[in-house]
Amino acid sequence: MLLLLVLSFLLATEAKRITPELIMTLQLVQEAQISPDGQQVAFTLNRPRAADESPGADWQEIWMMYINEGKLKCFTAASRNARSPRWSPDGKTLAFISDRGKGNKEQIYLIPTDGGEGKAITNFENDVDSLAWSPDGKFIAFTMKDLPSKEEQEAQKAGRDWQVVDEKYLFRRVYVLELSTGKHWQVTKEPLNVWEYGWAPNSKQLLIFASSTTYVDDQYMAGKLYTVSASEGSAKLLIQTEGKLESPIWSPDGKYVAWRGASKLSDPDSGCIFITEVGSGKAQNLTTNYEGSVTFIRWADDSKSIFFGAIERQDTVIRRLDLTSGKISEPMLKGLIFNSPASFASDNKYVLIASTAKHPPELFFVEGSKARRLTHLNPQFDDVALGQQEIVKWKSYDGLEIEGILIKPVGYEPGRRYPLFVQYHGGPESADTNGWYATTTRWGQMLASHGIAVLYPNYRGSIGRGVAFAEANQGDMMGKEFDDALAGIDYLIKTGLVDADRVALGGGSYGGYAAAWAATRHSHRFKLAVVWMGGTNRVSKVGTADNYKEESIVHWKAEPYENYELYWDRSPIKYIKQAQTPTLILHGEKDQRVPVSQGKELYTALKWKGVPVEFVIYPREGHGIRERAHQLDFLQRILAHSLKYLSVQH
């Protein structure tokens, strides 16, 4: 038995490791759209740039999968980006958005689905953001942002380019293009910024989700549903709502509108299904007692039920909700982890992009309850050594059961203690599910390949367990919620897996905030903190970030200017005198959600305290990292710091 264990360990350590360089080869499927007849799938493929290419994000190409034949075909050349493939209702034409034309502006193109060249049907000074075919196939609706006036453009050229905050907004508006004539017109003329939209079944109206400013905070907390004529007329409020709202869709019979929404103003997630009868002015929450979080919805063909995807604890499922009885079906699909909506050809045929613990996201075709994998786009990961991945449960200090994902080190030997890296998810209204953990944002299998155990705790405040659980950390940021993570660490120490003297914590956004909290308030427990775009001074952050309303109403349930003590008490900077944890701070220069000054504050304070600290600012990056060179450096630094400060020897 001992000989077998030693041999197993040697084979695992000799297998190909997951490295930053390998992760940078990952090709990701996006925006999969099944054809109306269910025979083909058009999708966007994010292809990573080569090391010798110009700086930038992944290239975007449109590919076609012929389901019955199992054949793949590239539909657009890689010299320019192409995205958002959308089938015409008759399935004969594919519309997409590309920057291949003059001026590199993103415009709408059409291409026959049986082959040919893409032809531009728009030629605007500004970029087209999105597109949607009308059900009758005669029109395409699209969104485009306002341009500055000629006077404003001339003023900018002359250097008179100051900005008066809240004086004027450049709204994103809906337009309609008539395909037979090539004529287009502006539909939304009111001061409304359109975030989402969709056609009515009669192709005469549009449903829009919009807010009175261009701020993402108003999208979250003040967006409303309107209807508007596709030809002319003003936007009319459909129904009074409050709180977060997404994915509004008209029923096929035109009688109802459904959407994903928050149960109340302070609900952190739009994880409930709402429905209204058009013209009634009344809405109903159909999932009041559902202990999951809805992630997408789709009307059944007969308008009598709604299919929905959801996160349930560490799993993702698809179910059906009957409108007459209110009953929710047993899962129609389990075992695949998806992070984007499925695309339906009919009630029992659809495609989705999904991963498992064993492979990256790929394209799947589902008929009934049977799923068939269509693509194998990342064979370079077939022979890598993966750490054993499993769902774990433990009791927090107050007795609440908490769950998460544990990845054991490659070559794991029972009885041996390993260093641990806790990756804390962002949001906090998010959840880590049991899927693929080798990406630029999820580092679990990369660290496991190098001898480190990794824990993803779904602490209270996470989605996937109903509204009450998602609200359980409101007003108590880094309180009992962080105790949940600490209790998870203690549980793994007690099982004998983890070395208590070699524990790190890191994450991005809200996870970066947790890492800063670990580096200061709980510094005695951690050997390394990785603070990626993390808030470190909650008093200064709330007034400088782009989500003040969401922070105060949803997360804190307290106005900052009346509750300085609460915000300051939960600021990592307050506990800087306790700091002794080596810290890696990573931040995008243009981050609006967590301004780069938050990283600077922590860096300055840790230098003052004499704690080892490294601060990296990535130019042009916002709330996330998109450019290849930046992503590679980012992963290399995280791995190098983890190996160094967790004392991992190879």
pLDDT bracket for residue 10 (50, 70, 90)? very low
Decide if 176 contacts 198 (C-beta within 8 A): no
> Is pLDDT above 90 for 11?
no
Check if the beta carbon of residue 648 is closer than 8 Å to that of residue 410: no
Q: Across residues 17-34, what is the average pLDDT? A: 97
The pLDDT value recorded for residue 233 is 79
Burial of 149 per CB tally in 10 Å (0-12, 13-18, 19+): exposed
Can you give the pLDDT at residue 559?
96
- pLDDT computed for residue 78 by the predictor: 63
Amino acid type, 453: A
In this predicted structure, what is the pLDDT of residue 117?
82
Cα gap 113→92, rounded to integer Å: 5
pLDDT tens profile 494-540 = 999 999 999 999 999 999 999 999 999 999 999 999 999 999 999 99
% residues pLDDT > 70 (the chain): 97
Q: What is the pLDDT of residues 575-606, one digit of tens each?
A: 999 999 999 999 999 999 999 999 999 999 99
Compute the average pLDDT of residues 242-267: 97
Give CA separation, 618 vs 44, 382, 536, 626, in Å: 26, 32, 18, 10
Does residue 230 contact residue 247 with C-beta atoms inside 8 Å? no
Backbone dihedral region for residue 223 (phi beyond 0: left; psi -120 to 50: alpha; all else: beta): beta
Q: What is the CA radius of gyration of the chain?
A: 25
Residue 191 token pair = 């001061």
Please classify residue 548 by burial: count the beta carbons closer than 10 Å to its beta carbon, then call 0-12 exposed, 13-18 middle and 19+ buried: middle
208-236 tens-digit pLDDT: 999 999 999 999 999 999 999 999 879 99
Three-state SS at 68: coil
Q: Is the confidence at residue 74, as pLDDT, over 70?
A: yes
* Domains of the chain: residue spans and CATH: 27-150+167-380 (2.120.10.30), 390-645 (3.40.50.1820)
- Torsions phi, psi of 224, nearest 5? -135, 160
* CA dihedral angle for residue 66, residue 67, residue 70, residue 71, rounded to 10 degrees: 10
CB–CB of 452/419 below 8 Å? yes
- pLDDT value of position 5: 34
Whose CA is closest to 43, among 299, 257, 354?
354
Mean pLDDT of 423-443: 98
- Going by pLDDT thresholds of 50, 70 and 90, the confidence category of residue 334 is confident
| pLDDT at residue 320 is higher than 60 | yes
Q: Is 50 exceeded by the pLDDT of residue 434? A: yes
- The Cα–Cα gap between 13 and 113 comes to 47
Q: Looking at residues 439-454, what average pLDDT do you find?
A: 98
Q: What is the DSSP string of 539-607?
A: HHHHHHSS-HHIIIIIISSS-GGG-HHHHHHT-GGGGGGG--S-EEEEEETT-SSS-THHHHHHHHHHH
Determine the average pLDDT of the residues in 282-288: 96
- DSSP collapsed to 3 states, 46-64: EECCCCCCCCCCCEEEEEE
